[in-house]
Amino acid sequence: MIFFRKPIEGIERPQMPADVVIVGGGPAGMACALRLAQLIDAHNAAHPESQLSKENIYVLEKAREVGQHCLSGALLDPRSMNELLPGFEKEAPLDAKVIKEAVYFFTKNGKFKFPVTPPFLRDHGNYVISLNRFVKWLGSKVEETGITIFTGFAGSELLFSDDSKEARVIGVRTDDKGVDKEGHQKSNFEPGYDLHAKVVILAEGPRGSLTKQLITKFDLDKDANPQTYGVGVKELWEVPAGRIAAGEVIYTMGWPLTTKEYGGAWIYGSPGAESNDNIVSLGFVTGLDYADPRLDPQRVLQEFKKHPFVAKLLEGGKMIRYGAKSMPYGGWWAIPPVAGNGWMILGDSAGFLNSARLKGIHLAIKSGMLAAETAFEALTKDDSSAATLSAFQKKVESSWIKEELWKVRNLHQGFEHGMFAGMFHTGLQMITGGRGLRDRYPATAGYEHMHKLDDLPADGGPEAHLLGAAKGDGKLTFNKLTDLYHSGTKHEEDQPAHLVIHDTNICNTRCVKEFGSPCQNFCPANVYEMVDDASQPNGKRISLNPSNCVHCKTCDIADPYQIITWVPPEGGGGPNYDGM
Ligand SMILES: Cc1cc2nc3c(=O)[nH]c(=O)nc-3n(C[C@H](O)[C@H](O)[C@H](O)COP(=O)(O)OP(=O)(O)OC[C@H]3O[C@@H](n4cnc5c(N)ncnc54)[C@H](O)[C@@H]3O)c2cc1C
Ligand code: SF4
């Protein structure tokens, strides 16, 4: 039997008062903390008689070190950083300025270069960065201001004033530490803290676990399109010098995907320790709205690398890091209300990502800045009710966040019926300022696109090369466990499973037969396994390896029965995305 993680009831917990608690120390959370510190410093300098303190402002980050769970492409659009820290280029870890872009359409062995780079993929002026290093640096700027970052602490529950729909968010409970596999307290048990905060700011990245609690409790998504996602599987390679210039950017569409799946790849060049042009960041984002439950996004990346153009680029090189993470694709219409009684939602947790540009870092930072301005107003007025915090919603709507996202508001929905329809709608949307055929295109949650095995060709048809586990040749392509080894993932082994399956009977009786247990395929870290068990009706039983989890959230998103909830494991566990 699997014991799933849940907060321990009926114990005494340390209570801690706070002014602001920011959950998640990614670009959004760090930018929020930094901007808040700037505003408080400016206020204190101008008003010696009414000083505000930064002592009770906290950032909670589940990773053991700042930036360890941050994975991105990544190209940084510097727009918001120029607003947050003018002149940041002089000291931020930026790998290279973009000097060259190309967009290709791949067929199995060939390629067509777009004669003109579409406007949304023009990257001159942007920087190639490692988000991990960039966030570490942002974190050091936050710490310099005197704001405390609690690393190794996950927000595990939201605290509400009461059970009603009008309740106020009054704080955050952190993870219980030292709980064994069966849920018993070990000798090193430490209960989570109850942080009672005037303002709780959720900056947990895509499919945030507290954000999900909040959205569910208040039905926040009732008027929004369902959020849709992609999962990006990334490898970092060291290649012989001279293959790709630092600052060279390549996007590809097409193969190995067929016209039915949504997604594409990136290849960015950056300098390494030994040469100024020998590191390649490459990855494939697969839309989590594919039809065939046997499709495996990690395999999609392996197939992509077999393309002659990519294989030649990587030949003689070495894969040095691996990781995976989801991203919200749904755009403007999928964003829920972002502020209420005691709370605000930022960055990817809200869905501020421009999927046409594959960019969200600059939007996450900008949303953090606007939330900080709102939190500052709440602190000075000593009022963090919905009336005050709803200013954040208005600030977003009158900022360049909306301006940018409005132009691509229908982009992903246009691809709901495949690539050809998508290209038609994209063209139309480009000439109508994002509108296309109607102002708001509807969307379907990605998991609803998954078909049952009986409705699919047994041999996989045109998708056959994307289905099932990649074997890997150990040089250019890898199986999942080899890739996973390069993610540096580690967890405390003796703890309850943090992939909470609400009804394992569905896995063992229905899912295995109807969908062939897609969790085994969509999880990029081999967490889910169907093991032999003669006592089960189909001879198989679900088994978990939670220690492998890279926190990508794909299972929470893509499971066709929506019975998996990802909750944070004991703080400190997870991938180690150094340099990613
Ligand atoms: C494969 C891929 C490629 C991308 N490429 C680009 C690109 O080239 N350019 C670009 O601009 N954008 C890119 N993006 C998008 C970009 O990375 C995100 O938009 C951006 O990182 C969002 O920032 P965030 O702070 O909202 O979330 P995140 O970066 O996800 O940070 C969230 C942080 O919160 C922590 N956290 C989560 N839950 C909890 C909890 N309950 N308690 C405590 N801590 C918690 C996490 O550990 C993490 O550190 C890419 C995304 C992916 C997945
Ligand atoms: S268990 Fe879920 S969150 Fe963890 S790596 Fe697998 S799919 Fe991602």
Q: Which residues contact 325 (CB under 8 A, 6 or more apart)?
A: 71, 72, 205, 206, 231, 232, 234, 550, 551, 552, 553
| pLDDT > 90? residue 273 | no
Residue 189 burial (10 A CB sphere; 0-12, 13-18, 19+): middle
CA 185 – ligand 1 centroid, Å: 32
* Residue 322 bridge partners (DSSP): 235
| Ligand 2 and 523: CB distance under 6 A | yes
Average pLDDT over residues 529-537: 96
- The model's confidence at residue 298, banded by pLDDT at 50, 70 and 90, is very high
544 lines ligand 2 (CB under 6 A): no
| pLDDT score at 275 | 80
- Nearest Cα residue to 127 out of 2, 4, 18, 269: 269
Q: Facing residues of 21 across strands?
A: 58, 200
Tell me if 557 CB under 6 Å of ligand 2: no
Which residue is closest in CA terms to ligand 2's atom 4?
549
The CA–CA distances, whole Å, from 421 to 242, 405, 413, 470 equal 39, 21, 10, 30
Nearest ligand to the C-alpha atom of residue 554: 2
> Taking 90 as the threshold, does the pLDDT of residue 202 lie above it?
yes
The rounded distance, in Å, linking the Cα atoms of 365 and 370 is 9
Instruction: Write the DSSP assignment of 173-206 as a string of letters.
Output: EEPPEEE-TTS-EEEEEEPPPEEEEEEEEE---T
Kindly give the distance from the C-alpha atom of residue 263 to the centroid of ligand 2, in angstroms, as a whole number.
19
> What end-to-end distance do the CA atoms of the chain give, in Å?
36
Interhelix angle 361-381/27-46, nearest 10 degrees: 40
Of 5, 472, 539, 522, which is closest to residue 530 (Cα–Cα)?
Answer: 539
Query: Could you give the percent of the chain with pLDDT greater than 90?
Result: 92
What pLDDT is stored for residue 272 in this prediction?
A: 86
Judge whether residue 417 has pLDDT over 90. Answer: no
Mean pLDDT of 56-61: 98
Instruction: Please say if the pLDDT value at position 309 is more than 90.
Output: yes
CB 285 near ligand 2, within 6 Å: no
The confidence band for 357, taking pLDDT boundaries of 50, 70 and 90, is: very high
- CB count in 10 Å sphere of residue 454: 8
What is the model's pLDDT at position 316?
96
Q: Which of 555, 559, 563, 567 for mutating ligand 2's site (highest number of atoms within 8 Å of CB)?
A: 555
Residue 47: which region, alpha, beta or left (left: phi > 0; alpha: psi -120 to 50)?
Answer: beta
CA-atom Rg of the chain in angstroms = 23
Which residues 6+ apart lie within 8 Å of 536 measured at CB? 508, 509
Ligand nearest, relative to CA of residue 529: 2
* pTM for the structure as a whole: 0.98
Question: What is the CA(324)–ligand 2 centre distance, in A?
Answer: 9
User: How much distance in Å is there from the Cα of 555 to the middle of ligand 2?
Assistant: 5
Q: Is 467 helix (H, G, I), strand (E, B) or coil?
A: strand
Residue-wise over 248-257: b if at least 16 C-beta within 10 A, else e?
A: bbbbbbbbbb
* pLDDT at position 276: 82
> Is residue 104 within 8 Å of 112, Cβ to Cβ?
yes
Residue 375 alpha carbon to ligand 2 centre in Å: 33
Question: Could you give phi then psi for residue 351, rounded to 5 degrees?
Answer: 105, 20
pLDDT greater than 90 at residue 369: yes
Q: Which helix (H) or strand (E) holds 310?
A: helix 308-314
What are 10's two structure tokens? 């009926």
- CA angle in degrees (0–180, nearest 5) for 306-254-441: 145
Q: How far is the CA of 71 from the centre of ligand 1 (A)?
A: 7
Residues with CB under 6 A from ligand 1: 23-29, 60-63, 69-70, 72-75, 131, 154-155, 203-205, 208-210, 232, 234, 283, 285, 325, 327, 347-349, 353, 358-362, 364, 568
For residue 425, what are the contacts with CB-CB under 8 A and spacing of at least 6? 410, 413, 414, 415, 436, 437, 441
How much is the pLDDT for 416?
87
